[in-house]
Amino acid sequence: MLQRLLLSVLLLSVTASEDFDWTKNEKTSFYYGTFPTGFSWGVGSSAYQTEGAWNVDGKGKSIWDTFVHKKGKIFLNDTGDSSCEGYYKFKDDINLMKDMKLNHYRFSISWPRILPTGLKSEQINEKGLKYYDDLINMLLENKITPVVTLYHWDLPQVLQEKYGGWQNVSMVNYFNDFANLCFERFGNRVKYWITFNNPWSIAVEGYETGEHAPGLKLRGTGAYKAAHHIIKAHAKVWHTYDTQWRSKQKGLVGISLTADWGEPVDVTNQRDIEAAERYIQFYMGWFATPIFSGDYPQVMKDYIGRKSGQQGLGASRLPVFSPQEKSYIKGTCDFLGIGHFTTRYVTLKNYPSGVGDSYFTDRDLAELVDPQWPDPGSEWLYSVPWGFRRLLNFVKTQYGNPMIYVTENGVSEKVLCTDLCDDWRIKYYREYINEMLKAVKDGVNVKGYTAWSLLDNFEWDEGYSERFGLYYVDFRNKNKPRYPKASVQFYKRIISSNGFPNQREVESWKRKSVETCTSSNQLLAAARRQSQGDQEHAGMQKSWPVHDEV
Ligand code: NOJ
C-alpha cells in the first residue's frame, strides 16, 4: 500500500510539469469581464532605448554606446545618443503616465550611468544616482509604483573589453555589486526588482548571432555560456536581496523572460508537439527551469549533449551546474516577469550535426507563420492573440503557478507610418489583453500588465524604424515632442474599467479613441511643417534623425 502511494507520489511529481494539454487550443470569442481588484496597469521603457544623454554627467560607455557607433550595425547607422531625451524629459513623461492613471512604470537603470567603469570599487557616479532618485521620487509622488530592471542590455563597455562581458564568470560578482548598490540607495522606495530583461536576447543576439551588442558570433557556444553566467548572476542577486535587504525593505525580486509561443503545426502529431515543446524549452525553459527547478530542461541537456558528442567534443556545449549551484539557483524568483509579442507554428526538422552547429540547429525544428496572421509592424511580429493565453497557461502548469507580471507586450508600426490613428494597435491590445483576461479566468496568477512601450524609442539594431510607443515621438525635432496615438485613449479606458466591462461600452471606446487622433495628426503635421520651415530658413542641414519617413 505504502509502496503504491509512494509510486503515485513519484509519478505525480514526474508528470507535474507535463500536464499542459497541447491538444486543447480553445479559440474562444471575446470575453467581457474585469480583472481582479488590485490588478496593476503600467507601461515600460528601458534606459538605453529612451534616456539619451549617453555621455553626460559622468556616465561611462555601455556596450551599446560602442556598438551603435560602429558603421553598419544599426539601421541607417542611427544611435541612442539622444533618443527620446528621457534623461531631461522624465518629468513630462511622468505627467503622461499620471494622465493615463497608471499604477506602475517599468524602467531600467543604466549600470554605467551609476558605475562608469562597471566596478563599484572604482567609482560611483553620484549624478547618475541622483537622476534615478529624482525619477523614483516623482513617480511615488504621483502614486506610480516603480518597477525597476537592473539589466536591460547596457553592460559597461570596460567590462566587455577587460573580461569579455557575459562570457566571463566574473560578471556575476560585478553585477551583484551593482545590484547591491541599487538596493542600498533605492530599495527604501523600490519594491519590485527585475534582475535581467530578456536574457534570451542578451545571450543569443549578443553572443551567438551578433546582431546586438557586443556583436559576437560565437556560434554554438557563446549563447550557452552567457546564459549560464546570467542565471548565476540572477541567483546571486536574489540571494543578496534575500539575506541583506528583504527583511528591511520588503520588496520582491524577479526576472523578465521574453518568449514567443510555439504551437505545433499539427496537434495530432506527437513529433510536432515535441518540436513545439522544444521551442519553448530552448526559449523560456532555458532560464525558467533552472530558476524554478534547479537545472536546465532535460530536453536541452539531451539535444545539445548528443549533438556535441556527434561533433566529437568531449563535453556538452551546454555548461553544467554543480549540485551546490543547482540548489542555490532553485527558487530564486519572487515573481516571474513575462514579455510576449508573437507566436510561431513549429514542426520537426532534423539538422545533421557537424555543419554549422548553433543554438538554432540544436533545437531540430522549423518555425512557420500563417500568412493570414496580421503583421502590422516589425517583420517578426505577427498578431496571434490566442498564443498569449497558451503561453500563460503553459507557465502555470510548468512552474507551479507562479506570480506573474506581464513585463512587456505591444506592437510596432511600419516605418512609413506617421498616422496617430493606430487602430491596428488598438486591436492588438484589445485582443492580447483579452486573452490575458481569459488566462486569469483559467487560473493563471497574473498580477499586472505592462504595455510596451510608453514612447517610440530606439529599437536596437532596427534604430528608429520600428515604433512601439503609445506616444509618437518626433525624432526630427530636437525637442523630441510626444504626441498621443489613439491607443493611449483606448488603454486609458481599459485601465479605468480594469478590463472590458460590456460589449456596448468597449465598442464605444474605439470610436471615442479615434475621435481625438485626427486633431493630433493635424498638430503633428503642422509642427513638422514648422520645423522644416525653420530649418530651411536657417539654411540648416538635417541635424537630427530624419529617418522615420524613409
Ligand atoms: C523586447 C525588448 O526587451 C525591448 O527592449 C524591445 O524594444 C521589445 N522587445 C520590442 O522588440
Ligand 1, atom nearest to 378 Cα: 11
**Is the CB–ligand 1 distance for residue 332 below 6 Å?**
no
| pLDDT average, residue stretch 267-276 | 97
Is the pLDDT reported for residue 395 higher than 50?
Answer: yes
Pairing of strands 261-264, 335-339: unpaired
Q: Which of ligand 1's atoms lies nearest the C-alpha of 339?
A: 1
Q: Is the CB of 408 under 6 A from ligand 1?
A: yes
Ligand 1 midpoint to CA 104 (Å): 18
Question: In what helix (H) or strand (E) does residue 231 lie, and over which residues does it extend?
Answer: helix 222-240
Number of DSSP helices (H) and strands (E) in the chain, helices first: 20, 15
* Ligand 1 neighbourhood includes 153 CB (under 6 angstroms): no
Between CA 299 and CA 284 the distance in angstroms is 13
pLDDT of residue 508: 95
Assign 529 a pLDDT band (cuts: 50, 70, 90): confident
The per-residue pLDDT of the chain, averaged, comes to: 93
pLDDT-based confidence at residue 416 (cuts at 50, 70, 90): low
pLDDT of residue 10: 40
How remote is the CA of residue 86 from the centroid of ligand 1, in Å? 17
pLDDT over 70, % of the chain = 93
Question: Which one, of 549, 547, 478, 531, lies nearest residue 85 by Cα?
Answer: 478
Determine the pLDDT at residue 548: 40
41 lines ligand 1 (CB under 6 A): no
Quote the ligand 1 centre to 458 CA distance (angstroms): 10
For residue 79, give the C-alpha cell. 544611435
**pTM for the complete prediction?**
0.94
CA distances from 463 to 61, 377, 549 (A): 18, 14, 13
pLDDT at 536: 65
Q: How confident is the model at residue 80 (pLDDT cuts 50, 70, 90)?
A: very high
Q: Is the CB of 207 under 6 A from ligand 1?
A: no
* Residue 353 and residue 373 in contact, taking contact as beta carbons nearer than 8 Å: no
Among 152, 408, 413, 456, residue to substitute to test ligand 1 (most atoms within 8 Å of Cβ): 408
User: Which pLDDT value is given to residue 369?
Assistant: 97
Taking CB atoms within 8 Å and a gap of at least 24, the contacts of 507-513 are 510/423, 510/426, 510/430, 513/426, 513/486, 513/487, 513/488, 513/489
339 lines ligand 1 (CB under 6 A): yes
Hey, whose CA ends up nearest to atom 7 of ligand 1?
Answer: 459
Distance 468 CA to ligand 1 centre (A): 9
* pLDDT value at residue 115: 98
The position carrying cell 548572476 is 233
Would the CB of 450 count as within 6 Å of ligand 1?
no
Point out the ligand 1 atom lying closest to the alpha carbon of residue 198: 3
Is the CB of 258 inside a 6 Å radius of any atom of ligand 1? yes
Which numbered atom of ligand 1 lies nearest the CA of 49?
5
Name residue 151's beta-bridge partners.
Answer: 196
Residue 204 has pLDDT above 70, yes or no: yes
- Alpha carbon of 163 to those of 125, 170, 352: distances in Å? 22, 8, 34
Whether the per-residue pLDDT at 332 is higher than 50: the answer is yes
Between 284 and 15, where is the model more confident? 284
Residue 202 pLDDT > 90: yes
Q: Report pLDDT digits (tens) over 229-261.
A: 999 999 999 999 999 999 999 999 999 999 999
Which band of pLDDT confidence, cut at 50, 70 and 90, is reported for residue 26?
confident
Segment among 102-111, 510-519, 528-537 with least mean pLDDT: 528-537
* DSSP H or E stretch at residue 447: strand 446-452
The Å distance, Cα 88 to ligand 1 centre, comes to 22
Per the CB < 8 A criterion, the answer to whether 199 and 223 are in contact is: no
Q: In the structure, what pLDDT confidence band is assigned to residue 368 with cuts at 50, 70 and 90? A: very high
Euclidean distance between CA atoms 424 and 414, whole angstroms: 11
- pLDDT value at position 343? 98
pLDDT bucket at 535, cuts 50 / 70 / 90? low
Residue 539 class from Cβ within 10 Å (0-12 exposed, 13-18 middle, 19+ buried)? exposed
Give, using CA atoms, the residue closest to atom 6 of ligand 1. Answer: 459
Least confidently predicted of 119-133, 250-264, 348-362: 348-362
- Centre of ligand 1 from the C-alpha of residue 500, in Å: 26
H/E element, 186: helix 171-186
Cis bond leading into 110, ω under 30°?
no
pLDDT > 70? residue 1: no
Question: How far away, in angstroms, is 161 Cα from ligand 1 center?
Answer: 25
469 Cα to the center of ligand 1, angstroms? 11
In DSSP terms, which residues pair with 404 in a beta bridge? 336, 446
The response to whether residue 459 sits with its C-beta less than 6 Å from ligand 1 reads yes
Average pLDDT for 382-410: 98
pLDDT at residue number 537: 63
Q: Hey, how many other C-beta atoms are within 10 angstroms of the C-beta on 311? A: 13
Ordered structural domains, the chain, with CATH: 41-540 (3.20.20.80)
**pLDDT exceeds 80 at position 354:** no
The band of 67, judged by pLDDT with boundaries at 50, 70 and 90, is very high
**8 A C-beta contact, residue 382 and residue 332:** no
User: Among the atoms of ligand 1, which is closest to the Cα of residue 258?
Assistant: 1
pLDDT, tens digit (0-9, with 9 covering 90-100), for 492-517 = 999 999 999 999 999 999 888 888 88
pLDDT at 417: 66
From first CA to last CA, the distance across the chain in angstroms is 74
Ligand 1: does its nearest atom lie under 6 Å from the Cβ of 83? no
